[in-house]
Amino acid sequence: MGNKIYKTAAEALEGHLQDGMLIAAGGFGLCGIPELLIAAIRDAGTKELTVASNNAGVDGFGLGVLLETRQVKKMISSYVGENAEFMRQYLSGELELEFNPQGTLAERMRAGGAGIPGFYTKTGVGTVIAEGKEHHDFDGQTYILERGIVADLAIVKAWKADPSGNLVFRKTARNFNVPAATCGRVCIAEVEEIVPLGALDPDAIHLPGIYVTKIVQGPHEKRIEQRTTRKKEAV
């Protein structure tokens, strides 16, 4: 199995970055974003990237960091509405965008990780999502063919890990990190805490270590995506 624990994100990524590669990134909103690995990719200067991720980050955080430095050529995403720089680049023709319904994107990642090259879904039939895709009828219903995603590199963020790479995610952060991790030929995980081998309940492990190539531990910023408050009511 070898040593999977690395001191820094830059060390963990060494030898795995190349221009023009496809990266699957975990995270849901601002939950579970692999911010340390994203920052290391920015510092490495890797460019012409295609990134498959539910979100495109926000301005100055998450994948928004790589958008600001023009290192991303194309996004494969579902929800991109919180990033002004993303919208500017897309509307000006500087950035390619492949829109995916959220469930379709999750299944494309899961399928790629499971060795399934494609699947049929009704979602998107009759919309721009279906343009250029193969259509097929099953039981009188029309479906479109979606291809599984196999990424050159998967970057994810977990709550806990053990030295063998077994991962536990916290609440909403689990949503896209698990399928993103499985579809990468190489998967690097940043974690909040590394616990001794055997400390994790096997029934509580969300991603087996067989999928994880390297681990890095580090401090993470806790952000609130949309802060909503109300005035204090008079007593």
pLDDT in tens, 100-158: 999 999 999 999 999 999 999 999 999 999 999 999 999 999 999 999 999 999 999 99
Alpha carbons 55 and 76: distance in angstroms, whole number: 9
| Residue 8: predicted pLDDT | 96
Task: Output the pLDDT for position 226.
Answer: 66
Q: Which amino acid makes up residue 97?
A: L
| Listed ranges 26-30, 68-72, 215-219; the one with the highest mean pLDDT | 68-72
Distance of alpha carbon 65 from alpha carbon 50, whole angstroms: 14
Q: CB-based burial of residue 224 (10 Å sphere; 0-12 exposed, 13-18 middle, 19+ buried)?
A: exposed
In the chain, what are the domains?
5-116+149-217 (3.40.1080.10)
Band (202; pLDDT cuts 50, 70, 90): very high
d(CA 93, CA 229): 37
